[in-house]
Structure 1
Amino acid sequence: MSQGIGESIADYLNHARAERGLSANTVAAYRRDLGLYRDFLASRGIGNLAEVTPVEVTEFVRELAHEQAPASVARHVVSVRNLHQFAADEGLTPTDPAADVSPPRLERRLPKALPVDVVAAILEAPDTDTVEGLRDAALLELLYGTGARVSEVCGLDVDDLTDALDGRESGLRLLGKGGKERAVPLGSYAAAAVQAYLVRARPQLAAHAARPSPALLLNSLGRRLSRQSAWAVIQRAAAGAGVTQDVSPHSLRHSFATHLLDGGADLRVVQELLGHSSVATTQIYTLVTIEHLREVHAAAHPRAR
């Protein structure tokens, strides 16, 4: 008896988690996507993956395109293709019916980088005469100073900083997507902000906890600062700096990358610092830099306009 689609999906998700090391959030997203695909196939009377042909996969994508945004459709296509490739590799199906099905073309959106002076104003916005202000300053300096994702900074423990602050490590170690670890330099501004927070603020925040937390950044209850709270810190700092445009944790990450490239950093170096697995992902920042050059040229050159 052939394996049912639900069993095949469960096997694939276990493989994605255990063998490929995908994060819990990514696996959960695949589970949702593939649940929708399973229901679609069931509505066509298909009970196992061996019965699927390119026609069904194409129909599924076409049906999604009428209901969802291109980015969501593209994610579903990736989930379905990965499932069928796994099934073919494992001998569960004789062929891979999704191999030639492509996701819809996505409009390439350039990341929005903030000007250097705007970033500086945001970083200087927290009131460092307060416990929360010292923590907020450390968070902001770490985000912009390292280009880290907000989840990576919120996931830091005090022990992760000790060696970097004492000069025993070449940089701060971050745990990125898929459990990949990378080292990034810890600049003097970020190091000073973290040191001030550790000495003058964290002990007071930690005193509010029922039990000690290893987390570097703590909330008012002495628990690990969440991504949602970090987002609120950034928006509060932006408002305090008088910034009217939308600012998010990714704004600081985008600005980090763009400012490095504007300063002459090599693309491969920026790729390593951001933790991108492919340089193609990092190359979008070169388009931002070129756009900036066009703006400067148009404003400054007498025959550009």
Structure 2
Amino acid sequence: MKISEAMADYFHYITAVDQKSMKTVESYKNECAHYHKALNEQGIEDMEAITYQAIQQFIDASAKTLSDNSLNHRITCLRLFHEYASTMLNCSNPAVYLKSKRHGQHLPNYLNKEDVTLLLTRRNESERELLDVTILELIYGCGLRVSECCDLKINQVNLEQALLRCRGKRDKERYVPMNENEIKLIKEYYGSVRRKWDSHRSMYLLINSRGNQISRQYIFTMLKKRCASLGLDERISPHSLRHSFASHLLDGGADLRVVQELLGHSDIATTQIYTHIQDERLKQAYRQFHPRNKK
């Protein structure tokens, strides 16, 4: 198959089926256009002729002109394109071992909103993908601990009232609102995948294909693989999503006491760490952009 044909098929898919935003589609098209041009310059026109070495040559050239973030975005776009071509068009996937450029920084306490959106976007219509996105949406959308997510029972979810009854540390109970995305995903998962997999009549909301309760290890492993395939920091953990939940609420103007209740913190001092994170972001922005701080 010609590269141009595969890309046209991919762009149609992400537009019509995935229904990605016009901005996202244009961004992907732009990155793929650079990629296609570079491959043509190497004399490569067919999908099966693309090698890992050819891709790496393009990435190495891109690294000379792009920032780390832009380079990682380009790598993510290439990964997603080749993943689609492999899954839907039966092409080989020479990008499967492509690594993103690591930033010289420690594990982030939270993800930015763009990375969260990327992480929570469904990439295909498989049953496993629906389960995985439902799990991640619950952790980020409700600020759940990974153990709280695993232990979530069917009778703790009230879709009509859009409320989730969560049992946290020391059996402390709290109620967390659910957003429309979560409700939609849970309804779809419960009505199709879970109904098919529930061979043991499990009390738990989230179960695997054998009908057993989802484990903590499954969530950690799934998230690590997902981050790797998207070019995100592979050290991101489920707790990073919980941190992101709190940070994004505070960024949006939520009261610290409200965030404390939603997280299930018994001591507000635990919640106040997120205000320190905000302070550090402000200081970093000041140091980077204020003209009086430039040497």
CA RMSD of aligned residues (A): 1.8
Structure 1, residues 200-234: CA drift from partner, whole Å, max 9, x if none? Answer: 2111222xx3x221111111211110111111222
* Counterpart-to-counterpart distance in 2, 1:219 and 1:127: 19
Structure 1 segments, 4+ long, off by >4 Å, are none
Whether 1:115 aligns to 2:112 is yes
Q: Deviations over 1:102-151 (max 9, x none)?
A: xxxxxxx9971111111111111x44511111111110000000101011
SS of residue in 2 equivalent to 1:214: coil
Whether 2:168 is the aligned partner of 1:176: answer yes
1:235 aligned onto 2:224: yes
Change (3 A) 1:117 1:111: closer
Residue identity matched to 1:189 = N
Query: Is residue 2:196 matched to residue 1:193?
Result: no
CA–CA distance in structure 2, aligned partners of residues 231 and 275 of structure 1: 22
Task: Decide whether the 8 Å contact of 1:213 with 1:224 is kept in 2.
Answer: yes
Q: Residues 160 and 275 from structure 1, CA distance in 2 versus in 1: closer, same or farther, beyond 3 angstroms?
A: same
2:209 aligned partner, one-letter code: S
Residue pair 1:113, 1:258 contacting (<8 A) in 2 also:
yes
Distance 2:286 2:207 in 1: 45
Separation in structure 1 between the aligned mates of residue 289 and residue 255 of structure 2, nearest angstrom: 26
Structure-1-length-normalised TM-score? 0.59
Q: Which runs of 5+ in 2 are unaligned?
A: 1-105
How far 1:289 moved relative to its partner?
Answer: 0.6
Matched, 1:224 2:220: no
Secondary structure of the 2:282 match is helix
- Give runs of aligned pairs for residues 65-80 of structure 1, distance below 5 A: none
SS in 1 for 2:175: strand
- For 1:257, the equivalent position in structure 2 comes to 246
The equivalences for 1:1-305 within 5 A come to 112-124=109-121, 126-161=122-157, 164-167=158-161, 171-206=163-198, 209=199, 211-305=200-294
For the residue of structure 1 that corresponds to 2:206, the secondary structure is coil
Identity %: 44
Q: Quickly say closer, same or farther: Cα 1:288–1:121, change in 2 above 3 A.
A: same
> Please, what TM-score do these two structures have when normalized by structure 2?
0.61
Give the greater-gyration-radius structure (CA).
Answer: 1
Q: What are structure 1's unaligned runs of at least 5 residues?
A: 1-108
